[in-house]
Structure 1
Amino acid sequence: MLFSVIKPIFQSAGFLISIFANALVIFLVITESPQKLGNYRFLVCYLSVISTIYAFLDFVVAPYTYSHENSALAIMHLEDTVFESIPYFAFLLIVSMCGCFGVNITAIAINFIYRFFALEREGRLRYFDGKRLLIWITLSLINGFITSMLYLTIGPRDEISDYVRENLKLDYQVDIDKSTYVGWLYWKLEFGSKVLNMRDLEVYLGLNALMMVPFCIIILYGFKSYLKIKDLISHGESEYSKRLQLQLYKALVSQTLIPVIFLFAPTGFLLTCPLFGIDIKWSNEPITIIYSIYLAVDSMPIIFLVDEYRNAFLNFFRKILSKPQVATVHYSTSVEMF
């Protein structure tokens, strides 16, 4: 089966690229950041650390995303692995991976709030000073913890295993009895009639709320930042200021689209369609791959769209090839980088 060959390649490549890219981001932020970056350096490093942990857990779990009629699952196949004899530990790994997802999307939203405050230039960056920065980080960890607790309630159950067993074996050659998973079965049969599974619905609504709050923050502050950047570009006092704000705009668009396309959209699609009886079995394989792509491209905008980081990265290869290096020229300006 082609997918059984492609899946480990994409997941392994996504993991390796993510580890390299996030380590590179942390190194560049520490060594090459302009002074005006302020506490945003710590937020970028924090997001890179969370992304690295997320990538590691995704690599270990190597999940299959699977939807069949009224069900949606994230499955870890245990057969012939070191986890086959410790399925509950493997289940906790899946829960931890899902919790990292909650931390990650909240950290992204916090980044957007910081960047808007910096563009706004009304002194509200003081809310990210000192110990207040730890409060923001704690908020993302709390979101991840609550997310994990909700996923703990939707572990393996006979009603789901029986529901997907035959089709999962047919589609993926995966034995549900030699796997662990988190999953939903929105509709179940009782006395020959379909009945809404209220427990799974409640978990869905809870997770949906936890995901929609940071999503709405990203959209709101992304749009407000776009308007602010557009205004600053049109009223910039120097070519440097205009170039800097255009650079910020490009990074903003990229870092908005990446989580929307590779995180929010596929997750929302996977969890919502089965609730309304829409069979999206055809999307199982693409969504599994999309998550791996996200891990690989998540850190790219910050490396290539911020001049200081891009030049430092490219100068390393120019030095190897003995080509002229590029220096970033710093001007005295009141405009902040983020």
Structure 2
Amino acid sequence: MRTSWAHYCVPKFNGFCSFLVNPLFIYLIFDDTKLMLGNYRWLLLFFAIFNMTCSVADMLVPVCVHNYRHAHAVFISGGPFENYSELNQLLLAVRCGFIGTTYGILHAHFAYRFLVLFRNKQLSNYFIPYGLLITIFYCLFHLSFWTITCYFYIGADLERKIYMQDPIMDIYDVESAKINMIVALYKDGSEIAIRKSITGIIANTILSVASVLIYTIIGFLIIRKLRSNTLLMSKKTKRLQDQLMRALIVQSVIPSFVSFAPTMASWYEPIIGFHLGRAVYYTASVLVSTFPFFDPTAIIFFIPSFRAKCINFGKNLITLGKAGKKSKGNNTAQVISRNRLQLS
């Protein structure tokens, strides 16, 4: 399949960065002795594991997005699962499901910060194991919901693949019938294909919009509580809550720009009839892979103790590198000196 360098390289680069940052992030949350994260560290661990799982999905099931006339299409653009099979078609639906699961992860973070302020005693007593199990099942619900809609409703049957045949062959040099595709067809198709497409897109839209509204409302309540005079917390604890809230805000902005907005634009571009060009195809498929890398980076950046440890770690690496070069230079000088003595 013929794709752009961005579709081939960027997800792999982001996956590499994800497997550098997330293990570092796990080390920071369990090595920390100042922040007193408590049970929150287990939620952060789940978050980091999900990020790395998402990166594996990005690399094994890379996707392209392409809109043509009255249809929106997503298809596997390479890797071991490129050729069509029912299993690979299901994997494509699961890959799309990871997009929806990011909303579940964000809800869990916002809900935890909310409960710290409003129900801290109950949270301390019941989060392990009940709260963590609820979080896992809630994220599985989002994953399952998206997988079902993408497989049973938007999954491309032969009719929808034929509709996309010409542009897929002209641009990507592959037959649409031989690849795994998700196609939402809004017009110029059979009644059942159009009805299933619209049902799947509307279902995902409702869940996505509701998800954004949920963490926006919870975030507003948290900020209002932090700024109120009724909050009984030490200055240090309140400062930590402020830092974590700023990190959460950035965490919520990242998927809004790299996931929510591009997917909405690509879904509804064929309906509106306004052609956004190739940019939406890159953002809808390539930028999604940045989420597992940027999200833990946001937390590290906004928590001063984490940021300081990373800076010190970088300085130590530079120092070791300079020491190694100096040691190598001294050894070389000693060898040259001995050779000169032997010659004389």
What TM-score results when the alignment is normalised by the length of structure 1?
Answer: 0.82
Seen in structure 2, the aligned counterparts of structure 1 residues 84 and 217 have a Cα distance that, compared at 3 Å, is closer
Once the two structures are TM-superposed, the CA of residue 214 in structure 1 deviates from its matched residue by 2.2
Once the two structures are TM-superposed, the CA of residue 166 in structure 1 deviates from its matched residue by 1.4
User: 1:167-219 CA distances to partner (integer Å, 9 max, x unpaired)?
Assistant: 223334443233211221122246xxx99811111111222233233222111
Match of 2:109 among 111, 118, 124: 111
Matched, 1:308 2:300: no
3-state secondary structure, aligned to 2:4? helix
The residue that corresponds to 1:41 in the other structure is 41
Seen in structure 2, the aligned counterparts of structure 1 residues 286 and 82 have a Cα distance that, compared at 3 Å, is closer
Matched, 1:160 2:160: yes
Report the residue type matching 1:40 in the other structure: Y
Conserved? CA contact 1:73–1:184, under 8 Å: yes
Report the residue type matching 1:290 in the other structure: L
3-state secondary structure, aligned to 2:184? strand
The residue that corresponds to 1:92 in the other structure is 90
User: 1:268-315 CA distances to partner (integer Å, 9 max, x unpaired)?
Assistant: 222233234444443213322321333331221112211232222222
Give the whole-Å Cα distance in 1 for the aligned partners of 2:83 and 2:254.
37
* Structure 2, unpaired ranges of 5+: 321-344
Conserved? CA contact 1:233–1:246, under 8 Å: no
The residue that corresponds to 1:292 in the other structure is 289
The residue that corresponds to 1:203 in the other structure is 200
Seen in structure 2, the aligned counterparts of structure 1 residues 5 and 195 have a Cα distance that, compared at 3 Å, is same
Match of 1:213 among 196, 210, 215: 210
Matched, 1:275 2:271: yes
Give the whole-Å Cα distance in 1 for the aligned partners of 2:80 and 2:259.
29
Give the whole-Å Cα distance in 2 for the aligned partners of 1:254 and 1:117.
20
Conserved? CA contact 1:75–1:182, under 8 Å: yes
Report the residue type matching 1:244 in the other structure: L
Relative contact order (alpha carbons < 8 A, sep ≥ 6): 1 or 2 greater? 1
Conserved? CA contact 1:77–1:178, under 8 Å: no
The residue that corresponds to 1:334 in the other structure is none
Higher helix share: 2
The residue that corresponds to 1:149 in the other structure is 148
Conserved? CA contact 1:233–1:241, under 8 Å: no
Seen in structure 2, the aligned counterparts of structure 1 residues 308 and 207 have a Cα distance that, compared at 3 Å, is same
Give the whole-Å Cα distance in 2 for the aligned partners of 1:102 and 1:229.
29
3-state secondary structure, aligned to 1:318? helix
Report the residue type matching 1:310 in the other structure: R
The residue that corresponds to 2:100 in the other structure is 102
The residue that corresponds to 2:64 in the other structure is 64
Report the residue type matching 1:316 in the other structure: F
Report the residue type matching 1:298 in the other structure: D
The residue that corresponds to 1:30 in the other structure is 30
The total of aligned residue pairs comes to: 316
Once the two structures are TM-superposed, the CA of residue 46 in structure 1 deviates from its matched residue by 0.8
Conserved? CA contact 1:255–1:301, under 8 Å: yes
Conserved? CA contact 2:65–2:285, under 8 Å: yes
Seen in structure 2, the aligned counterparts of structure 1 residues 281 and 36 have a Cα distance that, compared at 3 Å, is same
Seen in structure 2, the aligned counterparts of structure 1 residues 116 and 181 have a Cα distance that, compared at 3 Å, is same
3-state secondary structure, aligned to 1:256? helix
The residue that corresponds to 1:134 in the other structure is 133
Give the whole-Å Cα distance in 2 for the aligned partners of 1:111 and 1:141.
16
Aligned residues: percent identity? 23
The residue that corresponds to 2:255 in the other structure is 259
Once the two structures are TM-superposed, the CA of residue 16 in structure 1 deviates from its matched residue by 0.8
Once the two structures are TM-superposed, the CA of residue 100 in structure 1 deviates from its matched residue by 2.3
3-state secondary structure, aligned to 2:66? strand
Match of 1:250 among 246, 253, 260: 246
Give me the CA root mean square deviation: 3.0
Conserved? CA contact 2:100–2:143, under 8 Å: yes
What TM-score results when the alignment is normalised by the length of structure 2?
Answer: 0.80
Conserved? CA contact 2:65–2:281, under 8 Å: yes
Once the two structures are TM-superposed, the CA of residue 111 in structure 1 deviates from its matched residue by 0.7
Seen in structure 2, the aligned counterparts of structure 1 residues 16 and 198 have a Cα distance that, compared at 3 Å, is same
Seen in structure 2, the aligned counterparts of structure 1 residues 172 and 294 have a Cα distance that, compared at 3 Å, is farther
Alignment of 1:12-31 (within 5 A): 12-31=12-31
Select the structure of larger CA radius of gyration: 2
Conserved? CA contact 1:70–1:275, under 8 Å: yes
Seen in structure 2, the aligned counterparts of structure 1 residues 169 and 306 have a Cα distance that, compared at 3 Å, is same
